């Protein structure tokens, strides 16, 4: 049977499935075939013409099982989609087929008051999940700067870290993800509960090796974070202060450092444009006076911006992580970005890169915990001067000792450390033996023969 016939038969089978909405309008197919890949001028031409042939929205796990079985029966690819805020075409259907929206699977199934562990369906938006956790005195440990719209399933399958990484490291660190419910893509598919060891292989696998229908996460005690900015005239002074704060006992949820040329490229609500570099901090209220003392002794100018208002979308969170790229590109689309872990000591490497690349490179740093140690990650803005120049810059960053996480590639491996994770491939053998889930995104699977 050809693909066209297979799709007709699949559509017919799916139209009989209860609690499954089908969308076939060209505008819907187009809208649900994109994510934020336009941040990469390398990926845009590769991905912009990819289209789903059918979009579906299941409301129950039973409907997901029927969908997975039907896709297996008719050998049609299935790509999962949360809100579609991923940056690397993670939920773009490279080979067409069906796109499944997770938005209607959004229940918080359980919360354990004794441990703080929450079990939630993948389509739950992180803002809603965090709000609910706060009613119980807890909060999410980690979230992306897109937390107001992005789903928890999309974060686990596609994200890596973000707000909270200064303390809690990265999503794949043991202790965050404690288990999952997964639907395999097989005939007569039935959901299965898997423990945290087995779930590791589905964490940051772009939905290539199982359909997550629920996940259990550890949470943190809730803190009403306070917003602070510190302006520093010299870059070295700002880095030194950031590192002193990281080494202190002050409880931090975010520490973002923006090089001065970024300030003029941020929205007006981001604060005054000055001739200094700006450190943005979310700090526990009991750390405020210590922070003031450290900023003063470093010669920085501190502004107390008050307690965070989580109902307002114009907070420091929306100036951190990839939101800086979003803001810069809103007015100057000729910029793109890179992601890396800086080598230690950071200053000489950054100075050498700056000297070579001048104003085509603007530093944006984030404090992170990497394998238990405070480190500086960078998401520098990069002026687009063509692919060859970008490759040269990436080469220079690696030569300076940085660990690069290339945001201009489509596979799980190439966006990470470049190596195939045998457990991810083994999980795909188990949960997707025909290779129909988000095909083209797991290099280890495509190279297995
Ligand atoms: P989607 O983009 O819809 O999907 C992401 C991946 O998850 C896809 O591969 C998809 O197939 C898979 N997936 C979705 N649901 C399931 C499921 N149920 N089962 C299996 N696989 C599934 N990322 C960060 O890590 N940290 C940041 O700070 C950050 N900041 C960002 C800022 C901006 C401005 C932008 C545009 C992006 C940012 N991102 C960041 C990337 C992205 O926003 C996050 O990773 C977000 O959590 C993705 O959620 P989503 O619902 O949009 O997922």
Domain of 12: which CATH number? 3.30.43.10
Boundaries of domain holding 205? 108-221
Residues 60 and 122 in one domain: no
Residue 81 has what pLDDT? 98
Domain closes at, from 101, 121, 149: 101
Q: Is the dihedral of CA 112, 118, 124, 128 positive or negative?
A: positive
Mutate to test the pocket of ligand 1, among 150, 160, 368 (most ligand atoms within 8 A of CB): 150
pLDDT tens, the chain, 449 aa long: 788 999 999 999 999 999 999 999 999 999 999 999 999 999 999 999 999 999 999 999 999 999 999 999 999 999 999 999 999 999 999 999 999 999 999 999 999 999 999 999 999 999 999 999 999 999 999 999 999 999 999 999 999 999 999 999 999 999 999 999 999 999 999 999 999 999 999 999 999 999 999 999 999 999 999 999 999 999 999 999 999 999 999 999 999 999 999 999 999 999 999 999 999 999 999 999 999 999 999 999 999 999 999 999 999 999 999 999 999 999 999 999 999 999 999 999 999 999 999 999 999 999 999 999 999 999 999 999 999 999 999 999 999 999 999 999 999 999 999 999 999 999 999 999 999 999 999 999 999 86
Decide: helix, strand or coil at residue 447. Answer: coil
Q: Say whether both 381 and 335 belong to one domain.
A: yes
pLDDT at 449: 66
Q: Which of 31, 85, 161, 181 for mutating ligand 1's site (highest number of atoms within 8 Å of CB)?
A: 85
Nearest in space to 306 (alpha carbons), one of 229, 244, 367, 254: 229
Residue 245 Cβ contacting ligand 1 at under 6 Å:
no
Same domain, 47 and 114: no
Cα separation of 409 and 314, whole Å? 30
Statement to judge: residues 252 and 328 lie in one domain: yes
Atom of ligand 1 nearest to the CA of 150: 51
**Residues 62, 183 contacting (CB under 8 angstroms):** no
Peptide linkage before 345 cis (omega within 30 of 0): yes
User: Do the strands 364-370 and 373-378 form a parallel or antiparallel pair, or are they unpaired?
Assistant: antiparallel
Index of the ligand 1 atom closest to the CA of residue 210:
20
Count the neighbouring beta carbons within 10 Å of the beta carbon of residue 142.
Answer: 24
SS3 144: coil
* CB of 44 closer than 8 Å to CB of 410: no
User: CB-based contacts of 105: which residues, under 8 Å, 6+ apart?
Assistant: 58, 59, 60, 61, 64, 121, 122, 123, 153, 213
Q: How far apart are the first and last CA of the chain?
A: 25
The last residue of one of the domains, among 221, 242, 271, is 221
Report if residue 418 sits inside a domain: no
Indicate whether 252 belongs to any domain.
yes
Quote the strand ranges of 143-191, DSSP E. 177-183
Distance CA 265, CA 248 (A): 31
Between the CA of 151 and the centroid of ligand 1 the distance, in Å, is: 7
Closest ligand 1 atom to Cα of 161? 25
**HSE (CB half, 13 Å, CA atoms) of 225?**
27
Is residue 429 in a domain? Answer: no
Domain CATH number, residue 198: 3.30.465.10
Shared domain for 209 and 269, answered yes or no, is no
Residue with tokens 């280890």: 444
**Domain annotation covers residue 424:** no
Whether 216 and 236 map to the same domain: the answer is: no
Whole-angstrom distance, CA of residue 381 vs CA of residue 264: 13
Same domain, 113 and 89: no
Quick one: which of 90, 153, 164, 158 has its CA closest to 126?
153
CATH number at residue 357: 3.40.462.10
* 449 within a domain of the structure (yes/no): no
Q: Are 310 and 346 in contact (CB under 8 A)?
A: no
Asked if 390 and 255 sit in the same domain, the reply is yes
Question: Using a 6 Å cutoff on CB, does residue 276 contact ligand 1?
Answer: no
Question: Which residue from 143, 144, 163 has its CB within 8 A of the most atoms of ligand 1, so it is best to mutate?
Answer: 144
126 CA to middle of ligand 1, Å? 11
51, 29 contact by CB (below 8 A) = yes
From ligand 1's centre to the CA of 155, what distance in Å?
A: 5
Q: How many domains does the chain have?
A: 3
Query: Beta partners for 221?
Result: 138
Nearest protein CA to atom 27 of ligand 1, as residue? 144
154: left (phi over 0), alpha (psi -120 to 50) or beta: alpha
Q: Residue 346: count other Cβ atoms within 10 Å of its Cβ.
A: 21
Residue with the smallest CA separation from ligand 1 atom 41 is 86
Q: Specify if 414 maps to a domain.
A: no
- Cβ(377) – ligand 1 distance below 6 Å: no
Residues in the chain: 449
Whether 426 is covered by a domain: the verdict is no
User: 303 pairs with which residues across the strands?
Assistant: 229
Q: Compute and round to an integer the Cα radius of gyration of the chain.
A: 22
Say how many C-beta atoms besides its own lie within 10 A of residue 314's C-beta. 12
User: Ligand 1 in contact with 83 (CB < 6 A)?
Assistant: yes
Q: Order of strands across the sheet with 373-378?
A: 301-307, 226-232, 277-283, 252-258, 364-370, 373-378, 340-341, 403-404
Q: How far apart are CA 263 and CA 305, in angstroms?
A: 17
The pairing of beta strand 98-101 with beta strand 54-58: parallel
Residue nearest to atom 33 of ligand 1 (CA): 322
Task: Examine the domain organization and report whether 194 and 73 are in the same domain.
Answer: no
122 Cβ below 6 A of ligand 1: yes
Contact 242, 367 (CB under 8 A): yes
Instruction: Write the CA distances from 406 to 143, 187, 192, 353, 395, integer angstroms.
Output: 20, 36, 33, 17, 11
441 found inside a domain: no
Contact assessment for residue 174 and residue 426, using Cβ atoms and an 8 Å cutoff: no
């Amino acid at each position: 049977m050809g693909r066209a016939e297979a799709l007709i038969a699949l559509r017919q089978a799916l139209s009989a499935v209860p609690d499954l909405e089908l969308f076939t309008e060209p505008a819907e197919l187009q809208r649900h075939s994109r994510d934020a890949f336009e941040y990469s001028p390398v990926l845009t031409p590769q991905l912009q013409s990819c289209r789903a042939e059918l979009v579906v929205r299941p409301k129950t796990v039973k409907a997901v099982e029927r969908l997975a079985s039907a896709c297996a029966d008719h050998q049609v690819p299935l790509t999962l989609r949360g809100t579609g805020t991923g940056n690397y075409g993670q939920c773009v259907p490279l080979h067409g087929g069906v796109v499944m929206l997770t938005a209607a699977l959004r229940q918080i199934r359980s919360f354990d008051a004794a441990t703080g562990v929450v079990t939630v369906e993948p389509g739950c938006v992180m803002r809603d999940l965090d709000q609910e956790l706060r009613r119980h005195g807890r909060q999410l440990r980690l979230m992306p700067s897109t937390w107001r719209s992005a789903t928890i399933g999309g974060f686990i399958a596609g994200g890596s870290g973000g707000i909270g990484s200064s303390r809690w490291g990265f999503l794949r660190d043991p202790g965050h993800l404690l288990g999952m419910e997964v639907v395999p893509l097989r005939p007569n598919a039935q959901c299965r509960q898997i423990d945290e060891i087995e779930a590791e292989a589905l964490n940051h696998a772009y939905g290539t090796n199982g359909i997550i229908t629920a996940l259990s996460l550890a949470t943190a005690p809730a803190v009403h974070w306070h917003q602070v900015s510190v302006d520093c005239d010299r870059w070295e002074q700002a880095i030194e202060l950031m590192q002193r704060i990281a080494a202190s006992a002050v409880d931090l949820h975010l520490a973002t450092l923006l090089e001065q040329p970024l300030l003029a490229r941020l929205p007006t609500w981001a604060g005054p444009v000055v001739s200094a570099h700006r450190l943005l901090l979310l700090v526990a209220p009991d750390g405020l006076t210590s922070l003031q003392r450290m900023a003063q002794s470093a010669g920085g100018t501190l502004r107390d911006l008050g307690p965070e208002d989580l109902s307002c979308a114009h907070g420091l969170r929306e100036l951190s992580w990839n939101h800086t790229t979003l803001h810069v590109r809103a007015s100057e689309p000729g910029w793109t970005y890179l992601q890396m872990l800086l080598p230690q000591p950071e200053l000489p490497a950054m100075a050498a890169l700056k000297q070579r690349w001048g104003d085509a490179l603007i530093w944006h740093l984030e404090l992170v915990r990497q394998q238990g140690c405070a480190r500086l990650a960078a998401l520098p803005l990069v002026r687009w001067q063509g692919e060859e120049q970008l490759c040269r810059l990436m080469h220079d960053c690696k030569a300076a000792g940085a660990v690069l996480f290339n945001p201009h590639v489509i596979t799980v491996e190439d966006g990470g450390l470049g190596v195939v994770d045998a457990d991810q491939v083994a999980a795909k053998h188990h949960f997707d033996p025909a290779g129909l889930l988000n095909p083209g995104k797991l290099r280890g699977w495509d190279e297995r023969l």
